[in-house]
Structure 1
Amino acid sequence: MALLIQGLRTALFYFLLASSAFVWGSLSLLVGPFLPFPQRFAFIIGTWTRMAMFFAHHVAGIQVRVHGAENIPRDACVIMAKHQSTWETFFLQTLIAPQVQVIKRELLSVPFFGWAFALINPIAIDRKAGQQALHQLIEQGRENLKDGNWVLIFPEGTRIPNGRVGKFSRGGATLACAAGVPVLPIAHNAATCWPTHTWWKTPGVIDVVIGAPIAPNGNDSQAIAELNTRCHDWIVARQAELGCIFAEGELADLRDA
């Protein structure tokens, strides 16, 4: 019976999420183009992601506990966060604003949601483009940081199932070094409630841990590698503390070369 009830709650959550994306996405397409960026972000993304978190809490039974919010600096910088599910792509928009996300270009083609998302100028890259995508990230990322917009990057590039940490790309560290700003590392255990690659939602508490900003020591290739390693190691250590690393012996193999 409990599984049936949670299944119904999960189905209702998705119905409300999809319905709100259609309604709010349509409204955003009408209103968003006439707003300056900070207000546009707050109207389009800030409001809708808060609705999504409201549904997650009150319908699916998912609560949130944030640790280290005092570590969020006043000035915009690069955010490097663990990627386990879709949950963090919603929640982190409510935590730090205004921000732009580095996303897969094809997400902009998703009806209503993607069309509205395009209005907040995400850094939409073709991950197969290699150096061209990196140059795009650095150019657009520096402009956004200069304008006071945070840049959110998931260095693993894709959702990684609970228990593992994926290889970190150096895009976030490269941008931070090029722009001369620190990286704000974020770890969490979202997959315990919002598992990777499945529709099922499990009631519980998601813990989000925000670390102290990690400043780059230069902007050459060695500085980039060193910053990436420091961010990787901090996130891995916090994931282990959250019970999201299942095999300690695997960690050496997961480090970015």
Structure 2
Amino acid sequence: MVSWSVRLRSVLFFIAYNLIGMVHSLLCLATAPFLDHRQRFHFVNHWTRATMWLLRHLNGVQVEVRGLDNIPDNEPVVVVANHQSQWETFYLQLLIAPQSTVLKRELLWVPFFGWGLALLRPIAINRRDRNNALKAVLRQGKARLDDGISVVIYPEGTRQPPGTLGQFSASGALLASLAGRRLLPIVHNAGHCWPARSMMRHPGTITLVIGPPIETEGKSAKQVNAEAERWIRQQAAALPGAKPSVNEKLAMP
């Protein structure tokens, strides 16, 4: 049963979050011609910082990050993370900058939010056309990495219920292997505090774990993907709220 306090605070968050986003997206569009990509990335993410501030002070959501020292300095990487919430699409932008996120192209059509998102040079794909989508990820992803921009991929494709993990695609491992870059695995349990497709923002602590970068040299993309998925599933099983289903593939080769 969700308390009236949580409901009220969630509604207030929704209103403030959207109002700030609408105003800020217009400011982003106005300033974009005068900023380079790194400056633009920093400016657009003022909304992200405001969102995290609201979550913490209005909704009582704390964040615990483990493994910060695993993020390489001055080295673009391919990031693969589980997908539970809209929260990770915000928070990872604060952890790893600059970055380009692989996302469905329809998100760029959303008024205000999509306008600001488009300024971050995402890799927008048509998920219905899987062959061309993968080609776009590999081609544009390598170009971003060559420009010194990390690429973030959610290999499950769609958001999963809290405490569970879906099937993993190998697109992140394929990109890392093609570009000769390391792959950085990340896992979290944000869905408990910021559920997908819900207005509710529940108080609690989101735990995010960053793993050691996975080398791709001398390995096949299949081996890299298996190593990343195994690590994510093992770590997910130890997070608060994990369900037995996250252990299903621990024994995968």
Return the TM-score normalized by structure 2: 0.94
Aligned mate of 1:236, from 199, 208, 233: 233
CA distance in 1, matches of 2:78, 2:241: 23
SS in structure 2 at match of 1:245: coil
Work out the CA distance in 2 between the residues paired with 1:249 and 1:113: 32
User: C-alpha offsets along residues 41-85 of structure 1, whole Å, 9 cap, x if unaligned?
Assistant: 0011x2111111111111111110110000001111000011110
Please give the alpha-carbon distance, in whole angstroms, between the structure 2 residues aligned to 1:90 and 1:123: 16
Q: How many residues align?
A: 252
- Structure 1 vs Structure 2: percent identity of aligned residues? 44
Structure 2 CA distance for partners of 1:3 and 1:34, relative to 1, 3 Å: same
| Larger relative helix fraction | 1
Say if 2:138 and 2:175, in contact at 8 Å, map to a contact too: yes
Deviation at 1:207, TM superposition (A): 0.8
Q: Distance in 2 between matches of 1:204 and 1:21?
A: 24
Equivalent residue letter for 2:102: V
Corresponding residue of 2:21: 21
Structure 1 runs, 4 residues or longer, greater than 4 Å off: none
Residues 2/190 of structure 1: CA separation in 2 closer, same or farther (3 Å cut): closer
* 1:165 and 2:168 are equivalent in the alignment: no
* Gap runs ≥5 in structure 1: none
Alignment of 1:44-123 (within 5 A): 44=44, 46-74=45-73, 75-123=75-123
Amino acid of the structure 2 residue aligned with 1:12: L
Q: Structure 2 residue aligned with 1:252, among 236, 249, 253?
A: 249
Deviation at 1:249, TM superposition (A): 8.3
Distance in structure 1 (CA, Å) of the matches to 2:130 and 2:6: 42
Moved more, 177-186 or 187-196: 187-196
3-state DSSP class of the match of 2:214?
coil
User: Deviation at 1:191?
Assistant: 1.2
Give the letter aligned to residue 134 of structure 2: L
Give the Cα–Cα distance (whole angstroms) in 2 for the partners of residues 178 and 213 of structure 1.
16
Q: Deviation at 1:162?
A: 1.3
Alpha-carbon distance, 1:218 to partner:
4.0
Q: Could you tell me how far apart the structure 1 residues matched to 2:196 and 2:28 are? A: 29
1:75-224 correspondence to structure 2 within 5 Å: 75-218=75-218, 223-224=220-221
Letter of the 1:54 partner, please give it. W
Q: 1:73 to 1:18 in 2, by over 3 A?
A: same
CA contact (8 A) 2:234 2:250 kept: no
Alpha carbons 2:193, 2:204 under 8 Å: kept: yes
Return closer, same or farther for 1:244/1:216 CA change in 2, 3 Å cut-off: farther
1:250 to partner: Cα distance: 6.0
1:248 is displaced (CA, Å) by: 5.0
Shift of 1:197: 2.5
Amino acid at match of 2:155: P
TM-score by length of 1: 0.93
Cα drift, residue 254 of structure 1: 11
CA distance in 2, matches of 1:121, 1:54: 25
CA distance in 2, matches of 1:53, 1:189: 16
CA RMSD between the two structures: 1.9
Contact 2:164/2:246, CA 8 A, preserved across alignment = no
Q: Is the 8 A contact 1:176 1:183 kept in 2?
A: yes
Q: Distance in 2 between matches of 1:53 and 1:254?
A: 37
SS at match of 2:159: coil
CA contact (8 A) 2:144 2:151 kept: yes
Say if 1:235 and 1:244 are closer, same or farther in 2 by CA, change over 3 A.
farther
Verify the 8 A CA contact 1:61 1:202 in the aligned structure 2: yes
**Per-residue Cα deviation, 1:213-247 (whole angstroms, up to 9, x for no partner):** 0111447xxx1111111111100001001044312
CA distance in 1, matches of 2:114, 2:179: 28
